[in-house]
A and B are shown apart, each in its own frame.
Chain A
Amino acid sequence: MEMRKGLRRLTAVLSLITMAILMTGCSDKVIVLNPKGAIGKQQLDLMIISTALCLVVIVPVLILTFYIVWKYRHQPDRKAKYDPNWEHSTKLETIWWSIPIVIIVILAAITVKYTYLLEPSKPLEHEAKPLVIQVTSLDWKWLFQYPEQGIATVNYIQFPANVPIRFELTSDAPMNSFWIPQLGGQIYTMSGMAMKLNLIADEPGSYLGMGANFSGREFGKMQFTAEATSQEQFDAWVQGIKGSSPALTKEGYEQLAIPGVSEVESFSSIPAGLFQQIVTKYGGHNHGSGSGEGATEHHHGSDSGEADATDKAPAMDMNMDMGDGASMNHEGHMNHE
């Protein structure tokens, strides 16, 4: 009796939860499931594939659990068999060692494939030249520099949709993490190194940006808006800032770096080599892809393609097909296995 009541209660709760998930799942608020960029979309594909693969095992296990617990419960004159010494079956155990092994092998193959495909420092394949945005996490605000445009913003970025964005990221404060969920996954911002993250927005829109890694008192305020617009709107926005905003000086940066929260700000110019100086002031490790030099070169206005050369090399070694790297479909992966 006790058990039956319990089961009923549990079923009620579970169905309520499922309904809640379905209802909220439909809304736009679940932004990770509603990506607006190629990277985020592929990451969503991956989430769906891995969830489906897991459910192949999980659902039968859950059903089996309820079935066994129900069928073999102790009750007077029950019909189900009682076999107290049955403790081993090579056949059965082989089956349930192999089921998870098979699932994990499939999942592992897909994961490895996507890990190289979606490596955040890998430039996106796209006809448009990437826009560079240099990101610095400060206590407790985000500074964004546009080396090619010569402007800077705080807690707000704008960029054209359908143009790859190449984020170069560092920190002049405890480490944080730069995350625009609708465009794609996050990457840490750490002092003394320049990380890279390549994202793209497929359509114009205003996206939530988060500082995802705890970095002290006002860390919760490190949120920003990432706005994707048309190229024309973006150009107009840059011109507007150049025309009306104050310049960012060295002293201005020192002021900005003082711990505290900040409103949205914009600057019409940036001190030469500021990003590079922030990276190297801690002794400047050249992390992974050696983007330190890259940052300097951008600032001097040279072609960013050159700076990318070092990044591309490891990707080429993996024999990735760069031609359709960004648009690979699931079938492509399956064939590979």
Chain B
Amino acid sequence: MLDKIKDFASEFFVTGDPLIYGADVSIGLTIIAVVSALTFFKKWNWLWKEWLTTVDHKKIGIMYVIASLLMLFRGGVDALLMRTQLAIPDSEFLSPEHYNQIFTTHGVIMILFMAMPLMFGLFNLVIPLQIGARDVAYPFLNSLSFWLFFFGAMLFNMSFVIGGSPDAGWLAYPPLSELSHSPGVGQDFYIWGIQISGIGSLMTGINFIVTILKMRAPGMKLMKMPMFTWSVLSSCLTIILAFPILTVTLALLFIDRYLGAHFFTLDGGGNPMMYINLIWMWGHPEVYIVVLPAFGIFSEIVATFSKKRLFGYKSMVFALMSISAFSFFTWAHHFFTMGSGASVNAFFALTTMIIAIPTGVKVFNWLFTMFRGQITFQTPMLWTIGFIPCFVVGGMTGVLLSVAPADFQFHNSYFLIAHFHQVLIGGVAFGYFAGLYYWWPKVFGFKLNEKIGKWAFWTWNIGFYVCFMPQYILGLMGMTRRVSSYGWDKGWWELNLVSTIGGFLMGIGFLFQVWQILHSIKFMERDTTGDPWGGRTLEWSIPSPAPVYNFATLPHADEKDPWWEEKLRLAAGGTPKPQPSLEPIHMPKNSGIPFVMSSFFFVAGFGFVFDWLWLAIPGLIGVAACMLVHSFRYKTDYYIPVDEIKRTEAAARRVV
């Protein structure tokens, strides 16, 4: 009996690596610490009532941000482990197996469990406030989306200590990801982690489309929406068209692995090329899904910190929408070398190049927003200005890659790695950082320390160039991606060493940011204005942090920058707009169902990973039961009485 348990445990838990034992211990200690702290301070009830069951978009947004920063840490540690391994030739710091797992989890985590939730966090924190709404269209669904993402991410991360991590690359090309070549459970963790969080992503897409289309403040016509709202709309439209492809593709891969089907196998009439096409039909739009909101963030920031209207509004909207549409017609540029023939390659080269046009126009419009402005260099603006040259160069190498016959030489090399990190870090990460710095005072009621923020900005930026510029050259030296070591004879080590130093500089930049947050929580003054940057859009017209109902009375938005125009009117001696009298506010009630239902999804996913039907089936039954219970919940709302609104507004120093 004991032997049986031992056998099971040695298969079940990942063993044999001191790094992993270290991680086991630290995970165990963290769990014990969190549980005892919650018990000691009697915070369980608070945790449940205020956070786990909340349907408030602002709190959900905060949870998204916290989770994604934790994932940024995990993905960043992965990155630094890889850079450490590659710093010198013939390094034995990581075995090839371990290296393969790490680059796989780095990619999956950074895109799906870092960029996506950070983006959703910003959607949640900003969109309802920016369009003058009191919540999203479907608050319950919103909470469910978050918990599905969270439990999906946990399931994926669990593979690190239980069962073994996936190691077939972040897009898991078959046949490598099929049962024949990846018999372990790592690939199943990959499938179920992404599937569960993917359902959440799809629902968030639907939620924000409806929110933006149906819940805007009176007067806010589509062509008067703030640019960030436009970018979220275009991103969400892309999500609802792209994510079903991912879900179906991974479902087919699961059926292959679990039921022995042959969709993507080499025998039985299957075809791995079909998977490669399908996964990129999602994968390419996915990169636009994450970058479009970053464009929106930059548009808001550049106007605010130049104290000037955004230049070329209509062009910007058209550019966003055309990028979103064209993103669906470029997927084959990820495999020009698959031998599809000259006509196919030529078509996809052209569609790819066409996307450069609206993207280039956006850069010109940002530049001319700054032109004749009054630019101040607080941290959100610094990240925006750092973004422009970085993204322009990254975009240029993207155009070089799109030249199909030249891509035969760039493909799979470090040139490609440098390119997509330049657009994903320089575009997406810089954009989300800028957004976090910009909206942080709105969310928490205080700014982040500017001085530490500048240190963070410069270490990140310099670190970025030191890390990735050498990788372009390494690619031209013939270094291919995903090699876990290389010999001294290749002549690659000097540049690899430089690149590793740059990677660690970015790591230090991240530490500066952590320090900045902790320092600011303790020392920063509270912002009482609700408008610390001189904002232009509706979110800056209310106190920070926003009251639970956001707007005491629904605002009107008759101009493009309604709050800016209002401030100008008041400064010119105008009278404030007459406010309608207060009325009780209709709000959604908290619900524990999303949390419980997502836990059941987690249980079911875990069961499928280990092929334990005795666990998977109860998990699925639990999911169904939650749906049933929710369908019979009739009291899902309540009213905030006028007295309470008055008290809240007065406390926020805004007597109504």
Whether A associates with B in a native complex is yes
Measured CB to CB, the residues of A under 8 A from B are: 2-3, 6, 9-10, 13-14, 17, 20-21, 24-25, 27, 29-33, 40, 42-44, 46-47, 50-51, 54-55, 57-58, 61-62, 64-65, 68-69, 72-74, 80-89, 92-93, 96-97, 99-101, 104, 107-108, 110-112, 114-121, 174-175, 177, 179, 181, 184-188, 190-192, 195-196, 208, 210-220, 282-283, 285, 287-288, 314, 318
**What is the CA–CA distance of A329 and B97 in the complex, to the nearest angstrom?**
47
- Nearest 4 pairs of A and B residues by beta carbon: A185-B408, A220-B483, A87-B309, A212-B412
Question: Do A9 and B462 touch across chains, with their CB atoms under 8 A apart?
Answer: yes
B470: Cβ under 8 A from any A Cβ: yes
Question: Do A111 and B405 touch across chains, with their CB atoms under 8 A apart?
Answer: yes
**What is the CA–CA distance of A57 and B346 in the complex, to the nearest angstrom?**
23
Q: A9-B458, A54-B400, A187-B337 known; A88 and B357 CB under 8 Å?
A: no
B653: Cβ under 8 A from any A Cβ: no
Question: Do B350 and A112 touch across chains, with their CB atoms under 8 A apart?
Answer: yes
B308: Cβ under 8 A from any A Cβ: yes
Interface residues in B199-222 (C-beta closer than 8 Å to A): none
Which A residue sits closest to B476, measured CB to CB? A32
Question: Do A213 and B412 touch across chains, with their CB atoms under 8 A apart?
Answer: yes
Interface residues in B325-357 (C-beta closer than 8 Å to A): 335, 337-342, 345-346, 349-350, 353-354, 356-357
Chain B residues with Cβ below 8 Å from A117 are 405
Which B residue sits closest to A6, measured CB to CB? B458
**What is the CA–CA distance of A96 and B365 in the complex, to the nearest angstrom?**
9
Q: Which of A97, A104, A188, A215 is close to B338, meaning CB atoms less than 8 Å apart?
A: A188
Question: Do A97 and B361 touch across chains, with their CB atoms under 8 A apart?
Answer: yes
Question: Do B346 and A65 touch across chains, with their CB atoms under 8 A apart?
Answer: no
Question: Do A185 and B372 touch across chains, with their CB atoms under 8 A apart?
Answer: no
**Shortest CB distance A314–B (Å):** 7
Question: Do B370 and A282 touch across chains, with their CB atoms under 8 A apart?
Answer: no
B548: Cβ under 8 A from any A Cβ: no
Question: Do B375 and A87 touch across chains, with their CB atoms under 8 A apart?
Answer: no
Q: A83-B372, A185-B337, A208-B478 known; A116 and B346 CB under 8 Å?
A: yes
Q: Mark B391-427, 1 if CB is under 8 A from A, else 0.
A: 0110010011011111111011100000000000000
Chain A residues with Cβ below 8 Å from B365 are 93, 96
Please count how many residues in chain B sit with their CB below 8 Å of the partner chain's CB atoms: 99
Measured CB to CB, the residues of B under 8 A from A are: 96-97, 100, 169, 173, 175-176, 181, 266-269, 271-273, 306-315, 335, 337-342, 345-346, 349-350, 353-354, 356-357, 360-361, 363-365, 367-368, 370-377, 382, 385, 388-389, 392-393, 396, 399-400, 402-409, 411-413, 454, 458, 461-462, 465-466, 469-470, 473, 475-478, 480-486, 490-491, 495, 498
Question: Do A2 and B406 touch across chains, with their CB atoms under 8 A apart?
Answer: no
Question: Do B403 and A186 touch across chains, with their CB atoms under 8 A apart?
Answer: no
Question: Do B349 and A108 touch across chains, with their CB atoms under 8 A apart?
Answer: yes
Q: A30-B477, A84-B373, A186-B337 known; A93 and B315 CB under 8 Å?
A: yes
**What is the CA–CA distance of A234 and B408 in the complex, to the nearest angstrom?**
28
**Shortest CB distance A242–B (Å):** 30
Q: Which of B181, B267, B409 is close to A40, meaning CB atoms less than 8 Å apart?
A: B409
Question: Do A179 and B392 touch across chains, with their CB atoms under 8 A apart?
Answer: no
Chain B residues with Cβ below 8 Å from A73 are 375-377
Question: Do A3 and B267 touch across chains, with their CB atoms under 8 A apart?
Answer: no
**Shortest CB distance A99–B (Å):** 8
A-B contact pairs, 13 of them (CB 8 A): A30-B476, A47-B406, A61-B392, A62-B389, A74-B375, A82-B308, A108-B350, A115-B345, A120-B408, A191-B175, A191-B266, A214-B100, A214-B176
Question: Do A13 and B411 touch across chains, with their CB atoms under 8 A apart?
Answer: no
Question: Do A185 and B175 touch across chains, with their CB atoms under 8 A apart?
Answer: no
Chain B residues with Cβ below 8 Å from A118 are 405, 408
**What is the CA–CA distance of A241 and B107 in the complex, to the nearest angstrom?**
45
Question: Do B308 and A83 touch across chains, with their CB atoms under 8 A apart?
Answer: yes
Q: Which of A50, A93, A215 is close to B403, meaning CB atoms less than 8 Å apart?
A: A50
Question: Do B269 and A217 touch across chains, with their CB atoms under 8 A apart?
Answer: no
Chain A residues with Cβ below 8 Å from B181 are 174, 216
Which B residue sits closest to A51, measured CB to CB? B400
**What is the CA–CA distance of A114 and B485 in the complex, to the nearest angstrom?**
35
Known: A46-B405, A68-B367, A179-B412. 5 other contacts (CB 8 A): A2-B454, A13-B465, A177-B411, A179-B480, A220-B483
Q: Which of A115, A184, A216, A219 is close to B346, meaning CB atoms less than 8 Å apart?
A: A115
**What is the CA–CA distance of A119 and B480 in the complex, to the nearest angstrom?**
22
Chain B residues with Cβ below 8 Å from A96 are 360-361, 364-365
Chain B residues with Cβ below 8 Å from A72 are 306, 370-375
Most buried by B among A186, A211, A218: A186
Question: Do A30 and B396 touch across chains, with their CB atoms under 8 A apart?
Answer: no
Chain A residues with Cβ below 8 Å from B461 are 10
Question: Do B360 and A287 touch across chains, with their CB atoms under 8 A apart?
Answer: no
Q: A72-B374, A96-B361 known; A181 and B478 CB under 8 Å?
A: yes
**What is the CA–CA distance of A121 and B337 in the complex, to the nearest angstrom?**
11
Chain A residues with Cβ below 8 Å from B169 are 214
Q: Which of A9, A14, A46, A218 is close to B96, meaning CB atoms less than 8 Å apart?
A: A218
Question: Do B273 and A190 touch across chains, with their CB atoms under 8 A apart?
Answer: yes
**Shortest CB distance B450–A (Å):** 9
Question: Do B360 and A50 touch across chains, with their CB atoms under 8 A apart?
Answer: no
Question: Do B400 and A181 touch across chains, with their CB atoms under 8 A apart?
Answer: no
Question: Do A46 and B403 touch across chains, with their CB atoms under 8 A apart?
Answer: yes
**What is the CA–CA distance of A47 and B173 in the complex, to the nearest angstrom?**
29
Question: Do A107 and B176 touch across chains, with their CB atoms under 8 A apart?
Answer: no
**What is the CA–CA distance of A69 and B495 in the complex, to the nearest angstrom?**
32
Chain A residues with Cβ below 8 Å from B412 are 177, 179, 186, 212-213
Chain B residues with Cβ below 8 Å from A110 are 403
Question: Do A282 and B399 touch across chains, with their CB atoms under 8 A apart?
Answer: no
**What is the CA–CA distance of A73 and B373 in the complex, to the nearest angstrom?**
8
Most buried by B among A33, A57, A287: A57
Chain B residues with Cβ below 8 Å from A62 are 389, 392
Which A residue sits closest to B340, measured CB to CB? A288
Chain B residues with Cβ below 8 Å from A282 are 266-267
Question: Do A47 and B409 touch across chains, with their CB atoms under 8 A apart?
Answer: yes
Question: Do B406 and A50 touch across chains, with their CB atoms under 8 A apart?
Answer: yes
Question: Do B404 and A187 touch across chains, with their CB atoms under 8 A apart?
Answer: no
Q: A46-B406, A84-B373, A210-B478 known; A220 and B339 CB under 8 Å?
A: no
**What is the CA–CA distance of A27 and B413 in the complex, to the nearest angstrom?**
19
Which B residue sits closest to A318, measured CB to CB? B342
Q: A88-B313, A107-B353, A216-B181 known; A69 and B405 CB under 8 Å?
A: no
Question: Do B482 and A214 touch across chains, with their CB atoms under 8 A apart?
Answer: yes
Chain A residues with Cβ below 8 Å from B377 are 2-3, 73
Q: A88-B313, A115-B345, A287-B339 known; A217 and B100 CB under 8 Å?
A: yes
Q: Which of A108, A187, A192 is close to B408, meaning CB atoms less than 8 Å apart?
A: A187
Chain A residues with Cβ below 8 Å from B393 are 58
Chain A residues with Cβ below 8 Å from B373 are 72, 82, 84
Most buried by A among B405, B462, B482: B405
Q: A58-B396, A88-B312, A214-B176 known; A74 and B376 CB under 8 Å?
A: yes
**What is the CA–CA distance of A65 and B462 in the complex, to the nearest angstrom?**
18
**Shortest CB distance B335–A (Å):** 7
**Shortest CB distance B14–A (Å):** 16
Most buried by A among B341, B385, B393: B341
**Shortest CB distance B386–A (Å):** 9
**What is the CA–CA distance of A8 and B529 in the complex, to the nearest angstrom?**
35
Chain A residues with Cβ below 8 Å from B400 are 47, 50-51, 54
Most buried by B among A21, A31, A100, A116: A100
**What is the CA–CA distance of A27 and B169 in the complex, to the nearest angstrom?**
33
Most buried by A among B96, B337, B409: B409
Which B residue sits closest to A47, measured CB to CB? B406
Question: Do B342 and A174 touch across chains, with their CB atoms under 8 A apart?
Answer: no
**What is the CA–CA distance of A318 and B343 in the complex, to the nearest angstrom?**
10
Which B residue sits closest to A66, measured CB to CB? B389
Q: A184-B408, A318-B342 known; A97 and B315 CB under 8 Å?
A: yes
Question: Do B266 and A84 touch across chains, with their CB atoms under 8 A apart?
Answer: no
Chain B residues with Cβ below 8 Å from A288 are 339-341
**Shortest CB distance B451–A (Å):** 9
